[in-house]
A and B are shown apart, each in its own frame.
Chain A
Amino acid sequence: MTITRSEIHQLVDPKTYAIVPEFTLSERLEEIRNKKVGLIDDSKENAKELLEEFSSLLNEKYAISCQLYHEKPAAGKPTEPAIIEKIAKECDFAIVAIGS
């Protein structure tokens, strides 16, 4: 039996690694009463029902109004940048419902 000596081999790493750009979080709201909310429905089952119930509760308890409701055309697609921009301009905060 031949004994083979170990050798160093140079391999190319096939993996990629996440490159996360610097970002800052939006300022947190100190008070939510009388604010405007934007709602995003991912179009999956129960998302609509959840958002309807939740926005009704927010309105009842904190007088929060629903400024914008957006249903995505498909759950697997990202929300259009124009919609996100509109929510950022017109709403104080947003809620996304992920149905199942």
Chain B
Amino acid sequence: MPDYEIKNVEWANVIDAIEECYSLGWTDGLPVVPPEQYRVQEFIDYVGRDPDEILGEVPERRRQISLLKTAANAVMAGCLPEYFPVVVAATEAMLTSEFNLIGPSSSQGGAGVLVVVNGPISREIGMNSKDNLFGPGNRANATIGRAIRLILMNACGSIPGIFDRTNIGHPGKYTYCIAENELETHWDPLHVERGFEKDQNAVTVLAAWEPRQVRSAADKYAALDSLIDVASTLGTSLANDDSVAGNGSLVRQGQLMITIAGASDFWEGWSKDDVREYIYPKIRRSVGDLKRVRAIGGDYQDGDDDRYALLVPAPEDILIVYAGSPEASGYRSAVIHSELPKISSTAVTLEIKDL
């Protein structure tokens, strides 16, 4: 390990150690595990890769993100070494040009990086895919998501108020990581829909706003119509007419993630594609509505309430994840908007290697 990466810090007890990390400006506001060299080395040894390997760059900020820095932040987040392959894959995914990290990590819109883990590893490391899906209580979910935020802040330079210009943000900016409940559904898992085999391990990242919970009557169409209502809200960054990629759409079109809880047999006879086919054309707003809130310009004209702008580019841009309590009474789901149009930031799925 190069000497310049090491800081010699003196402390007498655990409280001092935690306070030292605050003094060094390394935390997200919560206490961190001090990234002691021997512990960081355990993480590097676990994946068996060169600590100086560059996982990706943030070219606009002239930052290169090495495996070593990724490991130090994963230690600080409270990860175990066996979580580290997931953190590495998620880091590589958010540093791809398709994800375009400079957008979601600096935008006033305030995205969190939502990490969805698929494949056997999610069960092997004990991730939560059921009750309290986005809530507290599970070490792997909590610390993998937190590692990504610490990497964003410490390694990618996304310091609030400096390069991170978020106006409001949301709690998912501390930690935002879930697994899909693959064993209790007849649906294909997210990573299979995105080109991987069921027994492969994969991670998907999405620059995302907070999950908006939806409760509805236990009827398929009622459930989907409730989802559509929330997904079509005017209060999203998608109801905006810049960054439309010159493709003729009136407003931005972004990806959408939907998590669906409840017993799988509720959806007997339906596939994820069937769900998408029903909801995709209905996630839209009328030109009249868009004009009334000045999302698009121009005076109101007769017929504007009967003309519609679609908010999602294509059916496959609705990412469906079966997760949340399978014992949910009634019907529960969550709608998660991408913070940006797809042209600016696209969900990326990568295989988790190094196991």
Chain A residues at the B interface, C-beta cutoff of 8 Å: 4-20, 43-45, 71, 73-78, 99
Contacts and interface: CB of A to CB of B under 8 A. Distances in A.
17 contacts: A4-B12, A9-B36, A11-B34, A12-B5, A12-B71, A12-B72, A13-B7, A14-B154, A15-B69, A15-B154, A16-B64, A18-B63, A18-B157, A76-B104, A77-B103, A78-B60, A99-B242
Interface in B1-59: 1, 5-13, 16-17, 26, 34-37, 40
A20 B62 contact: yes
B13 A4 contact: yes
B334 to A, nearest CB: 25
Given A11-B35, A14-B69, A14-B154, A71 B62 contact: no
Q: Which of A8, A20, A43: most chain B Cβ within 10 A?
A: A43
A77 B244 CA distance: 12
Nearest to A21: B62
Contacts of B136: none
Interface in B60-84: 60-66, 68-69, 71-73, 75-76
Nearest to B16: A6
B155 interface: yes
Interface string B301-335: 00000000000000000000000000000000000
Contacts of A14: 26, 35, 69, 72-73, 76, 150, 154-155
B100 A8 contact: no
A8 B9 contact: yes
A6 B76 contact: no
Contacts of A44: 242-243
Contacts of A16: 63-66, 69, 154-157
Contacts of B243: 43-44, 73-76
Classify the secondary structure of B's interface with A. mixed
Contact of A19 (B10, B64, B68): B64
Nearest to B59: A78
B12 A75 contact: no
Interface in B170-197: none
Interface stretch (B228-236, B257-265, B272-280, B338-346): B338-346
Nearest to B26: A14
A76 B245 contact: no
A23 to B, nearest CB: 11
Contacts of B16: 6
Contacts of A75: 242-243, 344
Contacts of A20: 62
Nearest to B343: A74
B341 A74 contact: yes
A45 B252 CA distance: 13
B246 interface: yes
A10 B20 CA distance: 12
Contacts of A99: 242
B107 interface: yes
